[in-house]
Amino acid sequence: MVVLDTNALVFDALDPKRLTRRAAKAIESGAAAGRLACCDISLWEIAMLIAKGRLEPGTSTDEFLHAVISARRLDVLPITPEIAVLAQQIELTHGDPADRLIAATAIHHRARLVTADHTLRELSSVDAVW
């Protein structure tokens, strides 16, 4: 399974040239295998970016989120009790709860994480690519 961080979801949907070759290859590989996913918290993060005017998808937030999910046939992974507990055990240099949940989701599902976030890529417990 390949899990996309919020930044990877946005880049893939709106500006694929911002993806590295390795990131694009991981996304294509996950999509081809039917094993491409995102965390439910990423949908909230994207909605917040749109609401704050930091992201302009050219359509309504609802339509954009549905389009992102359907275009790549993404599985939206929920926060489970196990993921919630694991997120509190991850040692990050910042306390961003969304990043904690995204990393914990990738770890829990033994998935590769596609992320531009340097801090997440440095976690030894995360199989990250960018």
Tokens representing residue 126 in the block: 């995360």
Mean pLDDT of all residues in 78-92: 91
Domain boundaries, the chain: 2-129
Q: What is 2-129's CATH number? A: 3.40.50.1010
C-alpha torsion sign, points 77, 79, 83, 88: positive
Q: For helices 21-32 and 6-14, give the axis angle rounded to 10 degrees.
A: 90
How high does pLDDT run on average in the chain?
Answer: 95
The pLDDT of residue 92 is above 80: no
The pLDDT of residue 31 is above 90: yes
pTM: 0.94
Q: Largest alpha-carbon pair distance within the chain?
A: 38
